[in-house]
Amino acid sequence: CLNELDYVCVEESLLKAIKADDQFIEAYQMLAQLCYEQGRMEEAISYYAQTLEIDPEGNPEGYRLLAGLKLMSGDYAGALELAEQYLAFPPEKVKSKSKGASIRESCLFALEAMKNPVPFKPENLGPEVNSEYSEYWPALSVDEQMLMFTVMLPLPNQTGEEPLKLHEDFFYSTQGESGWEPRKNAGVPLNTSDNEGAQSLTADGRTLWFTACNRRSGQGMCDLYYSTWEGDKWSSPKNAGSPINSRYSEKHPSISADGRTLYFTSNRPGGLGSYDIWMSERTQDSWSDPVNLGDSVNTPDLEQSPFIHPDQQSLYFSSTGWPGMGQGDLFLTRLIRESGWTIPENLGYPINTHDDDIGLSLNARGDRAYFASNRGEGTDTDLYSFEMPVELRPVPVSYMTGRVHDSRNMRGIKAVLQLIDLDTEEAVMELESQAGEGDFLLSLPTDRDYALNVSADGYLFYSDHFTFTGLHTQTKPFRRDVPLEKVRVGSVVVLQNIFYATGSYQLEPASRVELKRVYDFLQLNPAVGVEISGHTDNTGTPELNQSLSEQRAQSVVDYLVNKGIETGRLKAAGYGETKAVADNELEEGRAQNRRTELKILAIDE
């Protein structure tokens, strides 16, 4: 054959060789490999089996290769028997005992998993989303109102070519009263005559990350790009650049809900296998050097299609290296603050099968998953959804909406919003409100206590705390509008996240986040002088309340002075119960009256 890629010619030549010599073991091996590469699994298995019949003792690697093929075809009992035979050979006669042991482990897992199937009832998303072409890589906005996906469809203006030339484009569908609306092409500039796919959306649906290969603007074979929603259209995609992209391949981005942590797959140096999962974090106007997730997630084989849930601790991904059902299974690992990523958990049968399973995503509540499959009629893939088994769900996440605005003229403000878990004192979410409008959408794990900090250039910062419970829907969202006061003499902000023990002026540890916010504000505004004032409700005597309010204000001033703020810029004042802002007859009112305030006294020219 003049061309080794002329499979028909190569196959004919090998068959002729076997006809001439039916003991020609190398010809059977080459035929098996050729059939495998063309997806003809049964024929590949048959040819490899022939090699073992010809020479059962002199070809130990044949047992491992055939066991692998049977595993990928779902013949777990047959694969297990062959793996056991391979492992029975003396160590010096085999090349990869570890791979044989891995096949054996997967077979044992698969046989047990089939005895204990997980609940699984996939539902086709219907003709408004699916078509006669292949749909895959579903990405859902956190409010579940938009679904974006990739479609493999023919290039336009083809006239009878066989086979038709195909390429990938982005489509989307929005949620209507009775389900998904008819899908729409995302159009230019997102879609081009090249391939775009494997996309991921931020929680608010306003930033899209995706994979594109072999572009002139690329740094390697495949690169990561991003686009933002501006007005009523997507911006021209930009290459993410270094250090995210390299001269190798970067694929399958998954962006965290707040857009500050990016997970992706790459074959760059420093990994454990052919492709590993990496992570990079946003640092002001750039991204950190990517970090490999390590051997608690990655293996010497293939890891891909990461999906980080909006809870920011549950990572779903596909792997061929962990024990599974065949070619590639879906797994779940959880990020534990003290110890890192947990050992991946296989999602089980029949979510996973002997076919290659990739591209899973979940809604914010974590009870419904979306994926692509060709389990229907034909060979093209459709999008499906199913109820995720309870034990495989992430932490339930709901969302909060609101608007940041000027307290006097109500104009929207672009501001930085930060959510802090008061139990851990760690920032769990940080993002910007929309420029010009001030709108924002946050996704949050439920049943927790949060501090909300909001800041914008030229304005006093805003702070609040609240308990976030339950699951909030598009029709009944948890809403919190944020008024900001301009930095001017007389402006006042309530320090909602300053906490004291009952009847005491000792600052609680949970106050550290707010105290840092005050310190940062004073550092950024060195010309500003402020009053820190303490206020109480009417519980107790006026004299005790006056003294307590003075002591509490002084505690905050002392903290700031110890951090380096000049004494002359700070004044401590106590007003006891004399400046109530709510009814002391009600507990809710008394809680509002117990407060610490910051007031701007002077701005030096």
pLDDT by residue (tens digit) across 559-591? Answer: 999 999 999 999 999 999 999 999 999 998 998
Q: What pLDDT is attached to residue 436?
A: 81
Confidence tier at 508 by pLDDT (50, 70, 90)? very high
Q: Is the pLDDT of residue 210 over 80?
A: yes
Torsion angles phi and psi, residue 220, rounded to 5: -140, -165
Select the more confidently predicted residue: 163 or 240.
240
| Percent of the chain surpassing pLDDT 70 | 96
Contact 533, 596 (CB under 8 A): yes
Question: What gap in Å lies between CA 415 and CA 4, rounded to an integer?
Answer: 61
* Residue 177 CB partners (closer than 8 Å, separation 6+): none
In our burial notation (b when 16+ CB lie closer than 10 A, e otherwise), range 156-175 reads: eeeeeeeeeeebbbbbbbeb
Q: What pLDDT is attached to residue 163?
A: 58
Q: What pLDDT is attached to residue 6?
A: 76
For the chain, give the mean pLDDT: 90
Token couple for 86: 């391979």
Token couple for 171: 């489509």
Q: Residue 126 carries which DSSP code?
A: -
Model confidence pLDDT, tens digit, residues 142-162: 888 899 999 998 877 666 656
Confidence tier at 307 by pLDDT (50, 70, 90)? very high
Q: Is the pLDDT of residue 474 over 70?
A: no
Helix H or strand E encompassing 482: strand 482-484
Amino acid letter for position 452: L
Confidence tier at 177 by pLDDT (50, 70, 90)? confident
Q: What pLDDT is attached to residue 101?
A: 93
Confidence tier at 522 by pLDDT (50, 70, 90)? very high
Q: Is the pLDDT of residue 419 over 90?
A: no
> Which segments of the chain belong to CATH 2.120.10.30?
134-392
> Which segments of the chain belong to CATH 1.25.40.10?
7-115
Range 415-439 average pLDDT? 85
- Give percent helix, percent strand, percent coil of the chain, each to the nearest 5: 25, 35, 45
Q: Residue 305 carries which DSSP code?
A: E
Helix H or strand E encompassing 519: helix 512-524
Q: What pLDDT is attached to residue 108?
A: 96
Domain 396-486 fold: Immunoglobulin-like (2.60.40)
Range 337-350 average pLDDT? 92
Range 190-204 average pLDDT? 89
pTM (predicted TM-score): 0.83
Question: What gap in Å lies between CA 264 and CA 223, rounded to an integer?
Answer: 10
Indicate left, alpha or beta for 519 from its phi (over 0: left) and psi (-120 to 50: alpha). Answer: alpha
> Which segments of the chain belong to CATH 3.30.1330.60?
488-605
User: What is the CATH code for 134-392?
Assistant: 2.120.10.30
Torsion angles phi and psi, residue 321, rounded to 5: -95, -30
Query: Does domain 7-115 correspond to CATH entry 1.10.10.10?
Result: no
> Which segments of the chain belong to CATH 2.60.40.1120?
396-486
Query: Which superfamily is assigned to 488-605 in CATH?
Result: OmpA-like domain (3.30.1330.60)
Q: Is the pLDDT of residue 1 over 70?
A: no
Question: What gap in Å lies between CA 206 and CA 131, rounded to an integer?
Answer: 26
